[in-house]
């Protein structure tokens, strides 16, 4: 498993902590920026992560100040279902019911321990399929 991760300046500190956590649990991480706490534009980072996730069929993590901007930008890329999550429940059901392939959250709104919990749940929860498959297919048709 490879996880693509990115943040803007508002999520930089939390991204660095999540990268370390992922490495500790044996997950390969590809950091697509930002590489410092200096101000940058979140759509650029969201695009890099989303394009890599869409191409590779792996998963991604995006972190900005609130998580909102990153999730909006990532969802503009075909094949991406980026879920803005706030707790274990939203992380779990973003995978189980929506087959989300990117999780987003806020570096200024999410504590490191809940972020770790959400990431672990997100990465290791399978899509339920079944009736949810039909709904995910309808989401994909909206891109056309």
DSSP 77-105: STT--EEE--SHHHHHHHHHTT--SEEEE
Quick one: pLDDT at residue 23? 97
Tokens of 17: 């902590």
Quick one: pLDDT at residue 43? 98
Quick one: pLDDT at residue 107? 98
Quick one: pLDDT at residue 108? 98
The answer to whether residues 5 and 30 touch, using CB atoms and an 8 Å cutoff, is: yes
* Residue 24 CB neighbours (<10 A): 9
Compute the chain's Rg from CA coordinates.
14
Can you tell me which residue has the tokens 């989300």?
A: 100
Can you tell me which residue has the tokens 């992922």?
A: 22
Catalytic residues: 64, 97
Quick one: pLDDT at residue 28? 98
Question: For each of the chain's 144 residues, which pLDDT tens digit applies?
Answer: 999 999 999 999 999 999 999 999 999 999 999 999 999 999 999 999 999 999 999 999 999 999 999 999 999 999 999 999 999 999 999 999 999 999 999 999 999 999 999 999 999 999 999 999 999 999 999 987
d(Cα 93, Cα 108) in Å, to the nearest integer? 23
The structural domains of the chain, ordered by start, are 2-142 (3.40.1400.10)
d(Cα 84, Cα 133) in Å, to the nearest integer? 20
d(Cα 144, Cα 125) in Å, to the nearest integer? 28
pTM > 0.85: yes or no: yes
């Amino acid at each position: 498993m490879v996880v693509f991760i990115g943040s803007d300046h508002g999520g930089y500190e939390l991204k660095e902590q999540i990268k370390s956590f992922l490495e500790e649990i044996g997950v390969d991480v590809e950091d697509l920026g930002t590489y410092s706490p200096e101000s940058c534009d979140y759509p650029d980072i969201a695009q890099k992560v989303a394009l890599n996730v869409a191409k590779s069929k792996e998963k991604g993590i995006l972190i900005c100040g609130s998580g909102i901007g990153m999730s909006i930008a990532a969802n503009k890329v075909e094949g991406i279902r980026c879920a803005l999550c706030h707790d274990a429940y939203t992380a779990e059901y973003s995978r189980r019911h929506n087959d989300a392939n990117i999780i987003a959250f806020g570096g200024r709104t999410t504590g490191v321990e809940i972020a770790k919990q959400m990431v672990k749940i997100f990465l290791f929860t399978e899509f339920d399929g079944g009736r949810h498959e039909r709904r995910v297919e309808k989401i994909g048709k909206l891109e056309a």
